[in-house]
């Protein structure tokens, strides 16, 4: 996995934290000097400028959606004070956070969407296995995507941990569920955990019941930012040759217990439902 791609993933999934070029470079496995050159060549802007623009973009969306506390938005955007956040926000968009919240829209703002990296080289897929899974109840944060906007998923996980973690059971297995697709190829993605049931949960959380059924399972090894390539090898190459038929039902990614959400390293299983 290219260093710049690792850096992009880390920024997208940790932009609310206090990040420095040195910390991002450490995760990417290169020196700050080399990361700066690689990042500029790939995105056309510096690491610091990209990080600030992404923070401001997500903050603007929250404010336009009616976030009641500007200081909380500032803190979750990596700023230590209302004043510092307001100054940076004004430099980015030419208006104050309060103005964006009052008008309730991001129309006309120079938003920066997550940079989409190249697909890169294919991966060698370990032989998938057949498995049966029992009924599961999934609760988490639900968002809708198209195949061209999935780069927003790391930020969705971050929002779940920042704003909804207290409402979820501790030490549960993490799942990323793809469901509710339409004829335009858009789909709903639920970043969540398995729960005993839906009673008593925060009503702001999305929920989904996965009935017991048969699946075919492949495992992604390595950095999470390369999982798209494992999906391509599994669904685009191995599955058509397998003779198996996938059902029109939710599929999901299941994160291993030792998955490192800070570094993005660890095994992730991809579960595809089979026709019976």
Architecture per CATH, domain 129-273, reads as: Alpha-Beta Barrel (3.20)
Give the model's pLDDT for residue 75. 92
DSSP H/E element including 133: strand 129-133
Give the model's pLDDT for residue 41. 78
The residues, ordered by sequence, that sit 6+ positions from 166 with a Cβ below 8 Å of its Cβ are: none
Strands 206-210 and 136-145: antiparallel
Contact predicate 198/139, CB 8 Å: yes
CATH 1.10.10.60 domain range(s) in the chain: 3-103
The residues, ordered by sequence, that sit 6+ positions from 171 with a Cβ below 8 Å of its Cβ are: none
The residues, ordered by sequence, that sit 6+ positions from 5 with a Cβ below 8 Å of its Cβ are: 117, 120, 225, 226
CATH 3.20.80.10 domain range(s) in the chain: 129-273
- According to DSSP, residue 95 is labeled S
CATH code reported for the domain at 3-103: 1.10.10.60
Contact predicate 254/267, CB 8 Å: no
Tens-digit pLDDT string for the chain (276 aa): 477 888 899 999 998 888 999 899 888 888 888 888 888 878 888 898 999 999 999 999 999 999 989 999 999 898 989 999 999 999 999 999 999 999 999 999 999 988 876 555 567 899 999 999 999 999 999 999 887 788 889 999 999 988 888 888 877 899 999 999 887 778 999 999 999 999 988 888 999 999 999 999 999 998 888 888 898 889 888 998 898 989 989 999 999 998 988 888 999 999 999 988
CA atoms within 13 A on the CB side of 171: 0
């Amino acid at each position: 996995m290219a260093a710049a791609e690792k850096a992009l993933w880390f920024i997208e999934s940790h932009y609310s934290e206090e990040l420095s070029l040195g910390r991002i470079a450490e995760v990417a496995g290169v020196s700050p000097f080399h990361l700066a050159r690689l990042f500029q060549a790939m995105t056309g802007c510096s690491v610091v400028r990209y990080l600030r623009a992404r923070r401001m973009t997500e903050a603007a969306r929250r404010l336009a959606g009616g976030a009641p506390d500007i200081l909380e938005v500032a803190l979750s955007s990596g700023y230590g004070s209302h004043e510092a956040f307001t100054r940076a926000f004004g430099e980015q968009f030419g208006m104050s956070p309060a103005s964006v919240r009052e008008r309730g829209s991001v129309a006309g703002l120079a938003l920066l969407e997550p940079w989409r990296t190249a697909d890169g080289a294919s991966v060698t897929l370990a032989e998938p296995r057949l498995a049966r899974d029992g009924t599961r109840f999934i609760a988490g944060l639900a968002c809708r995507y198209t195949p061209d906007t999935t780069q927003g998923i790391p930020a969705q996980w971050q929002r779940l941990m920042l704003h909804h973690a207290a409402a979820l059971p501790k030490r549960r297995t993490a799942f990323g569920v793809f469901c509710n697709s339409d004829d335009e190829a858009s789909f709903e993605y639920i970043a969540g955990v398995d729960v005993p049931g839906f009673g008593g949960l925060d009503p702001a959380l999305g929920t989904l019941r996965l009935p017991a059924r048969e699946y075919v399972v492949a495992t992604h090894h390595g950095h999470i930012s390369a999982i798209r390539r494992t999906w391509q090898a599994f669904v685009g190459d191995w599955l058509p040759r397998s003779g198996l038929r996938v059902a029109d039902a939710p599929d999901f990614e299941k994160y291993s217990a030792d998955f490192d959400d800070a570094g993005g390293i660890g095994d992730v299983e991809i579960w595809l439902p089979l026709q019976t």
